[in-house]
Chains A and B, each alone.
Chain A
Amino acid sequence: MNTAAKQFVRDATRLSADLRHRGLIQTALGKYEVKRDEMKARFHDWERARQLAADTKWEAINHLDQYLDQFVRQLEARGTKVHWASSARQARDLIRGILAARGARTVVKSKAMTAEEIHLNEDLERAGFTVVESDLGEFIVQLRQEPPYHIVFPAMHLTRGEIKDTFEARLHDAPSDTPEELTMVARRVLRQKYVEADAGITGANFAVAETGMISITENEGNARLTAALPTTMITLLGIEKIVPRLEDLALLLPLLSVAGAGQLLSGYNTLYGGPRQPGEPDGPEEYHVVLLDNGRTAYLADAEQRDALHCIRCGACLNVCPIFRNVGGHTYGTTYSGPIGSVITPNLRGLPDWKHLSYASSLCGACTETCPVKIDLAHHLLQNRRNASRVKPSWWQKLAFKLFAPVANSQFLWRWLVTKGGRVGWVFHRLVLGTRFDPAYAWTRTRDLPPIAPQTFREWWRARQNGSAEAGNGGNAAKP
């Protein structure tokens, strides 16, 4: 096993037995589920809404060159500087360059998964910039020097007590552990940062081709302030964020809010179309948009999984995933966790190192069913398994299938295996049961192995057809 897979198995084993962690996650997601279902029910037709949203993103992604070009021309026409970055490194260089050219030292940031993806904070801090995360959850995990736990709820894994301790240690200010007072501590600290910061960096939820605007969804108002007060504003967005028309947001904004946070509409949904325009009282003097590829065009070339680029990063698939709900967000060791992370990470970062994530799934299909833009996540996990075995077949899997195929293809051998062979094996298995020599150790280490049924289905069926007296109760008492 490679390092990433080992780390996944180690952390998953530890966390799935951690009842405190499980309690926190179940409580948080339980509240989410109640609100989400309440809001879904307000929709006249939620299922049809998903289809319309998927159609909209399909159109945008499958004509991405045209819409991207339109988006950029509209932005540039109103004084925005647009930059293109093929790689994470180019994006980091561009952003450092913009900040340096503007003479900026302190940067206030609103939540952006693209910035996590390119490890922007570490890079800017190494270059001597002061970077402050302004989203409360991000602010907390930044103080703890942790990555976000969840793409929408970054500090979901922490109790108020842990957050109080963090504030005490890092800010020397934590009057109590009530969420209200802790939030007010962050409010006080961060308000000064907005007013003083030289530059603001944001992500974006949508990019409107028709009007050349980005759209940011949030609840706290931190992105609003980040885009209002500093004299330089930078937005880092993935090229897949495009939607064709402004009016498409009339559906996509509530869909994102319901699926992401169980709200009909999140607190602030804001469109930005440029720097301060003539006649406007405030806003940044310069507005820069950095368009990030970083593997997205390669993903686009895979027609089978192209719909993964429809993702609006709502986190709904994480919230319903039985694996995520047991192993948590950090276990994945990736920027994007949960089903969507397990689908895209192997394709963006390399199948051999990340193929284990394709198995972080019970294939229950809850992710596919909940996705507001209808990404076929469960099948993409299966396709990743198939592709991984094509890229680098495993010798023992090949051997196992070589041995399995003739047995499965022969009626005689198969019947022997599941009857006499299985029973003989069962006797020997008892000798190694629960030890490392047990071939089923991965299972038997923590679980009982159910005993082989005394009868096969065929035997039971035959006995039943023969019409023994007990046939009515399933023939369990059939005698030889």
Chain B
Amino acid sequence: MNERENILGRIREALRFPARRPGSHGVTEGKTALPTVAERREVLPPVSSSFDAQMALFARNCAELRADFKLCRDADEVIAELARLREAEGWSRIASHRGPQTESAVTSFGLPVLWTERGYDKHELERCAAGITACDALVAQTGTVVVSTRTGGGRALNVLPPHHVVLATRDQLVPDLPAAFATLKERYGADYPSMISFITGPSRTGDIERILVLGAHGPKKLTILCV
């Protein structure tokens, strides 16, 4: 028996009677009107069109989410910042993936690196102190970092190690969620990565008496270094 045909058949049968439109009094007719990008923008939290204001909003959202955000002058400052984290947290082994943003920064300070882009041993990744990745976009509206299997070194690198460090560039900042989805569509078109994640702050839970605890399963710390 073909359940696909059974279920689709039942759906078609069920839909012969039209349903009332939401928010109307009994209206079932009318042309399909999916919200447009402009309509969605009008209702979502407003974001200024100025780049500096967007960057400031992103920083404010990060602070609220308890993610560490630092706007760096140049690549050297990013490396200095990574070295500072290495000292502060006593990293002995880190994981990353080879890419234009990550490779030079990660190789510059002499720690053993587990590179993930060609496959890796998950037990080894579990023992790494930090995962350093690139990203697809930063969303000012929500303080979100968008990563995918291509920019985040796979699925696990950006969520398994206890500290996730994102190396981003200023031109990756987008104002809002509609712009983030438009960026993804433009970049990947018909060939999307098998995973795309909107990461908003470090891993968190409120499951015990609704008290916020960071680092439930994923990273306890999220650091975003933007150059």
Contact = CB atoms under 8 A, between A and B. Distances in A.
Interface in B17-46: 17-23, 28, 32-35, 37, 39-40, 42-46
Interface residues of A, number: 114
A84 B4 CA distance: 6
Contact of B44 (A43, A84, A90): A43
B37 A247 contact: yes
B44 to A, nearest CB: 6
A46 B42 CA distance: 10
Interface stretch (B70-78, B83-91, B105-113, B197-205): B197-205
Contact of A283 (B8, B195, B219): B195
Nearest to A136: B207
A190 B218 CA distance: 11
Contacts of A266: 200
Interface stretch (A24-32, A118-126, A326-334): A24-32
A179 B213 contact: yes
A55 B34 contact: yes
A61 B126 CA distance: 42
Nearest to B43: A49
Contacts of A140: 207-208
Contact of B218 (A251, A264, A268, A277): A268
A31 B212 CA distance: 11
Interface string A24-65: 100110011000000000111110110110111111011111
A463 to B, nearest CB: 42
A281 B153 contact: yes
Contact of A137 (B22, B195, B207): B207
B34 A267 contact: no
Contact of A253 (B21, B143, B198): B198
A281 B210 contact: no
B209 interface: yes
B22 A283 contact: no
A156 B37 contact: no
Contacts of B182: 247
Looking at A63, A69, A297, which has the most chain B CB atoms within 10 Å of its CB? A297
Interface residues of B, number: 87
A293 interface: yes
B195 A272 contact: yes
A270 B196 CA distance: 6
B210 A247 contact: no
Contacts, number: 313
B12 to A, nearest CB: 5
Contacts of A219: 203-206, 216
Nearest to B198: A269
Interface in B175-227: 176-178, 180-182, 184-185, 192-211, 213, 215-219
B149 A229 contact: no
B144 interface: yes
Given A247-B178, A267-B199, A281 B23 contact: no
B155 A160 contact: no
Contacts of A237: none
Given A62-B19, A65-B15, A222-B217, A163 B155 contact: no
Contacts of B159: 221, 224-225, 228, 268
B207 A195 contact: no
A317 to B, nearest CB: 15
Contacts of B144: 265
Interface string A128-158: 0000001111001000000000000111101
B122 interface: yes
Given A56-B34, A273-B194, A228 B160 contact: yes
Contacts of A298: 10, 14
Given A134-B217, A268-B197, 12 more contacts: A55-B22, A183-B208, A191-B126, A194-B160, A246-B185, A247-B37, A269-B197, A277-B149, A293-B10, A300-B11, A304-B20, A310-B22
The 4 closest A-B pairs by CB, nearest first: A221-B218, A54-B22, A228-B155, A220-B216
Interface of B: 3-4, 6-8, 10-15, 17-23, 28, 32-35, 37, 39-40, 42-46, 61, 97, 116-120, 122-123, 126, 142-144, 149-150, 153-157, 159-160, 176-178, 180-182, 184-185, 192-211, 213, 215-219
